[in-house]
Structure 1
Amino acid sequence: MAQRSVEIMDTTLRDGEQTSGVSFSSSEKLTLAKLLLEELQVDRIEVASARVSDGEFTAVKNITEWAETEGHLDRVEVLTFVDKGVSLNWMEQSGAKVQNLLTKGSLNHLTHQLKKTPEEHFKEIAEVIAQAESMGITTNVYLEDWSNGMRNSPDYVFEFLDFLTQQPVKRILLPDTLGILTHQEAFSFIHQIIKKYPNSHFDFHGHNDYDLSVANVMEALKAGCHGLHLTVNGMGERAGNAPLASVVAVINDFMPKITIGVKESSLYKVSKLVSAFTGFGIPYNKPIVGDNVFTQTAGIHADGDSKKNLYFNDLLPERFGRKRKYALGKTSGKANIQKNLQELGLTLNDEELKKVTERIIELGDKKERVTKEDLPFIISDVLDSELHPKRVIVKSYVLTHSKGLKPSTTLSIEIDGKTYEENAQGDGQFDAFINALKKIYQKEKVALPKLVDYAVRIPPGSNSDALCETIITWQTEEKDFTTRGLDSDQTVSAIKATEKMLNLF
């Protein structure tokens, strides 16, 4: 079967940054540029718009200096404008060598925004392309609002393409700027263009306003397009752009004639980093990268997974550097709980399992979120047994916080029946508690897990007198794990989560 290679251009750092409220710092842009090109291995990245700000200039300069030393300079692209060479001068000073020139791809935009004739527009574009060529800058051309142009003014679009295909342009970029295409139109419009201009390179740039971007990408590929523009987590203006992770999975699983170079196993890592930099959380049900997409909740599904993987599809989490999980809640059956018990190395008889299942369903009805790490405590509580004995007990503590003095904690803790007391100061009450705890464990020459994430929230379903839920992620050399504490006082809930950690650890 004949295969063809398709270029993947990631535009998270340019078009993705048009997500409302998102702005990458220059150091964040450099970090992501390195990851996108070398770790994720996309073919090209669009990193900025020319002339936007001093910060944008610094970011591009940092990226191009790095890219030049690594041989990636021709893979770094910048959006430019038909502005009598102002953008090109900006590019030259920043060190960039590939421009993505923004032009008008619909007669409506040309007439009402630029108020120019096609001939006037084409003449100015030709001048910019010629100047770029004289400066050693490669030109790709965006046809802004191209999809509406094909719907409402196709004669203009083809007149424009007749002109562009005779220019020294490397790629012609076809954006569905307002996300209005159906998948049938995506195929039809691009097929017409590829058929008429077989010697030119065309990229498709899809937006997701109708949640059709992935379908449109598939049809664009079937029609013969040569490149795709995507963003991490589907970031972008309004409803965003075609999401990188979903498109990569779809191509690899459903389009055997297409080859791409993106490294699947790095998708999740880059997705989480972009989320951290932007402060925009990834929806739990976001395909490929969402927290819940490899989590089975219904008990019947977990049971089927144990019987010839009846509920598996080709999207195996290991492909993306992830693992399958089995949620615990009101729809959990015995099979879900068994899966989690196996991971903890615990076993229950049928009667014990029944009682634990009933308690988890009861908690789920109350909207409590049960985690794998909670299971030993639920088991101990339900069965009143020594299945998971509480070896560590925080017996007593005094938390002080006075103006002008550092917060301090005096702590009494029992470990395997032996009581320890210690006092410490810290930057806050919980920090002082942890410092006191470390002193105790240092005496036993035991290193505690590292605290890597600390989140506080009001639990789902609570009222105005709500409890405070503290969720802490800990890290050991072997793994990361999470514990939770619930109390009306934030510090106390954190201490309860820490006590759970000490018993699990």
Structure 2
Amino acid sequence: MKRRKIEIMDTTLRDGEQTSGVSFSASEKLTLVKLLLEELKVDRIEVASARVSDGELSAVQQITDWADNVGFLDRIEVLTFVDNGVSLDWMKKAGAKVQNLLTKGSMNHLTHQLKKTPEQHFKEIGASLAAAEREGISSNVYLEDWSNGMKSSKEYVFQFLDFLATQPVKRILLPDTLGILTHNQTYDYISEIVGRYPNLHFDFHGHNDYDLSVSNVMEAVKAGCQGLHLTVNGMGERAGNAPMASVIAVINDFLPQVMVGVNETSLHKVSKVVSAFTGFGIPANKPIVGDNVFTQTAGIHADGDSKKNLYFNDLMPERFGRKRKYALGKTSGKANIQKNLQELGLTLNDEELKKVTARIIELGDKKEKVTKDDLPFIISDVLDSDTHHQKVFVKSYVLTHAKGLMPSTTLAIEINGESIEANAQGDGQYDAFMNALKKVYASKKIKLPTLVDYAVRIPPGSNSDALCETIITWDWDGKELISRGLDSDQTVSAIKATEKMLNII
């Protein structure tokens, strides 16, 4: 079966830029154009609206200069308006050769916004198209509010399409401007149009107001449309546009009768670049490009992955230039930890693995996510704990730090089964803890080692909720003694390191 080619037009730089608070610089636009065309390999890009600003004109000039040099000029498109040639003059200055002319696709818009009859509108559109042809500019035509037009003024839509069929138009662009279509309506409307005009090229432009854009795109393709308008990360006004990554994956996996030329392995990279340029984060659970979507958290899932990939689907991370991860936390099992150990090149025996698993679950109750980079610290902490038999327990403590008051600590400690309490102040919370501890040991006539070095580490690449490893060096009657503590709280990790020291002495 011969597969039908679907054109992908990216409108991140035009419609996506209508996301509230987003504005791309000229250099960012040029960088993204190169990335989208050369690496992601979309077919066309809508880069701007005509007449917006001098800065926008300069950006488009830079883009068209580059595109002309590499043979991509016919793939650069600009939104234009029916404005007696003003947009076309802007296009000529910008060096662009393809206009996407914005027209009215519903009687509601035509009557209440333009206050014109269909005949008046068509006459002005015809003049714009003829002028573009004379200037060597090719034309696509947007039918703004087309979806509402099909719902409430279908006769007008077909009257308009009858007219456009006689004009020098390369593509007719059908936008669900307000995101009001269901998948059934999308299929029915586009099927009807394609059936009536089999020789015209139709693009579908979906919005995501009801979170239906991907399903609507599927149905538009099934109904026979030849092009799709998408944005990276689903950027766009209100709830945004149909998202590039999800649509490409859906087409490749569920629509074998069609094909797209987009390079799947670059989807994640481009998504990250757009996120960095716009400052809009990618939701962790966003399909294909979110941080968590290839992460197994439950231990039973990691175990299943080791047994004939029981929890895999066709969305293999390698398709998108990514790797599967196995989260470490309170739902982790030994299988999750084994997967991470394999990546780090570490091995543990069954008893050690059991202890590390228990420690990760304990830490996971305090901290939602334990990372792979935390794992060496946890192993060191657990195995270090096994080198001595615990006789001293810091049972509880209260750390107080208030503005204008000295930090203070009240602690309860158990030594060889005897419970002792003490309270003290200090220059900081840990200093107050140590002063209270000295009181306890003074009462037992035991001298504590002297703290000579105190270092805190967090795993590379971690953020504010990282595990802290506190390494304390002690002088114990001329002998150097080192103890480590691990916790998501820096002071608590220091207290744990101190508790280890107390057991060693």
Q: Name the TM tier (shorter chain).
A: 0.7 to 0.9
Cα distance in structure 1, aligned partners of 2:362 and 2:386 = 23
- Which whole-Å deviations, capped at 9, do the CAs of 1:24-71 have from their partners, x for residues lacking one? 000000010011111111000000000001111011000001000111
Contact 1:456 1:468 in 2 (8 A): no
Would the alpha carbon gap of residues 196 and 121 (structure 1) be closer, same or farther in structure 2, given more than 3 Å must change?
A: same
CA contact (8 A) 2:110 2:116 kept: yes
Residue deviations 1:246-303 (CA, integer Å, cap 9, x gap): 1111111111110111111111111111111111111101111111111100111000
1:2, distance to aligned residue in structure 2 (A): 2.4
Change (3 A) 1:300 1:487: closer
Partner Cα distance (1:177, 1:368) in 2: 40
Separation in structure 2 between the aligned mates of residue 357 and residue 34 of structure 1, nearest angstrom? 47
Q: Which residue of 2 aligns with 1:37?
A: 37
**AA of the residue aligned to 2:270:** V
Distance in 2 between the 1:363 and 1:150 partners? 57
Q: CA separation of 1:487/1:351 partners in 2, compared to 1, >3 Å: closer, same or farther?
A: closer
1:185 corresponds in structure 2 to: 185
Letter in 2 for 1:200: L
**Residues in 1 aligned to 2:57 and 2:345: alpha-carbon distance in whole angstroms:** 55
Is residue 260 of structure 2 the alignment partner of residue 260 of structure 1?
yes
Q: CA deviation at 1:351?
A: 2.1
Structure 2 spans left out of the alignment, 5+ residues: 388-459, 470-485, 495-505
Please state whether the residue corresponding to 1:384 is helix, strand or coil.
Answer: helix
Q: Return the letter of the residue paired with 2:354.
A: K
Partner amino acid, structure 2, of 1:49: S
Query: CA 1:181/1:21 → structure 2, altered by over 3 Å: closer, same or farther?
Result: same
Distance, in Å, in 1 between the alignment partners of 2:244 and 2:222 is 18
Matches within 5 A, 1:81-160: 81-160=81-160
Verify: 1:290 aligned to 2:290, yes or no.
yes
Q: Equivalent residue for 1:442?
A: none
Which residue in the other structure is 1:430 paired with? Answer: none
Give 5+ residue unaligned stretches, structure 1. 388-452, 461-466, 470-483, 494-505
CA distance in 2 between counterparts of 1:91 and 1:197 reads 30
Pair 1:167 & 2:167 matched: yes
Instruction: Provide, for residues 212-234 of structure 1, a one-character-per-residue CA deviation record: whole Å limited to 9, x for no partner.
Output: 11100000000000000000111
Aligned to 2:16: 16
Partner of 1:310 in structure 2?
A: 310
Please tell me the residue identity of whatever aligns with 2:337.
I
Following superposition, the deviation at residue 487 of structure 1 comes to: 6.3
Q: Secondary structure of the residue that 1:45 maps to in structure 2?
A: strand
Please tell me whether residue 366 in structure 1 is matched to residue 366 in structure 2: yes
1:468 to partner: Cα distance: 10
Residue pairs, 1:338-377, within 5 angstroms = 338-377=338-377
Q: CA separation of 1:171/1:468 partners in 2, compared to 1, >3 Å: closer, same or farther?
A: farther
Say whether residues 1:247 and 2:242 are aligned partners: no
Q: Deviations over 1:305-339 (max 9, x none)?
A: 00001111111111111111000111111110111
Inter-CA distance 455–84: structure 2 relative to 1 (3 Å threshold) = farther
Q: Distance in 1 between matches of 2:233 and 2:462?
A: 22
Aligned residue in 2 for 1:392: none
Deviation at 1:349, TM superposition (A): 2.1
Asked whether the 8 Å contact 1:380–1:386 carries over to 2, the reply is no
Residue 485 of structure 1 deviates from its aligned partner by 9.8
Distance 2:368 2:140 in 1: 53
- Report if aligned partners of 2:367, 2:488 keep a CA contact under 8 Å in 1: no
Specify the SS of the correspondent of 2:289. Answer: coil
486 and 266 in structure 1: CA distance in 2 versus 1, 3 angstrom threshold: same
Q: Which residue of 1 aligns with 2:378?
A: 378
Alignment-mate amino acid for residue 190 of structure 1: I
What's the RMSD between the two structures over aligned residues? 2.2
Distance 1:96 1:382 in 2: 64
* 2:243 partner amino acid: P
The 10-residue stretch of structure 1 (377-386 or 234-243) with the greater mean CA deviation from structure 2: 377-386
- Aligned equivalent of 1:198: 198
Q: 1:369 Cα shift? A: 2.5
How far is 1:373 from its partner? Answer: 1.2
| 8 Å contact kept, 2:140–2:171 | yes
Shift, 1:78, TM fit:
0.1
Q: Secondary structure at the match of 1:351?
A: helix
Verify the 8 A CA contact 1:295 1:326 in the aligned structure 2.
yes
Distance apart, 1:366 and its partner CA: 1.3
TM-score of the two chains, using structure 1 as the length reference: 0.77
2:167 match: secondary structure:
coil
Is the CA contact 1:16–1:235 (under 8 Å) kept in the aligned structure 2?
Answer: yes
Which amino acid in 2 is paired with 1:282?
I
Identity of aligned residues (%): 79
Please state how far the C-alpha of 1:350 moved relative to its aligned partner. 2.0
Report the alpha carbon displacement of residue 379 of structure 1 after superposing the two structures with TM.
Answer: 1.4
What's the counterpart of residue 405 of structure 2?
Answer: none
- Of stretches 356-365 and 30-39 in structure 1, the one that deviates more from structure 2 is 356-365
- 1:237 is displaced (CA, Å) by 0.6
Larger Rg: 2
SS at match of 2:142: strand
Q: Cα distance, 1:361 vs. partner? A: 1.3
What displacement does 1:342 show?
Answer: 1.0
- Cα deviation per residue 1:137-170 (whole Å; 9 max; x = unaligned)? 0000000000011011111111111111111100
Change (3 A) 1:64 1:276: same
Q: Is the 8 A contact 1:139 1:171 kept in 2?
A: yes
The runs of 4+ residues in structure 1 deviating greater than 2 Å are 453-457, 484-489
Structure 2 SS opposite 1:378: helix
Name the structure 2 match of 1:404: none
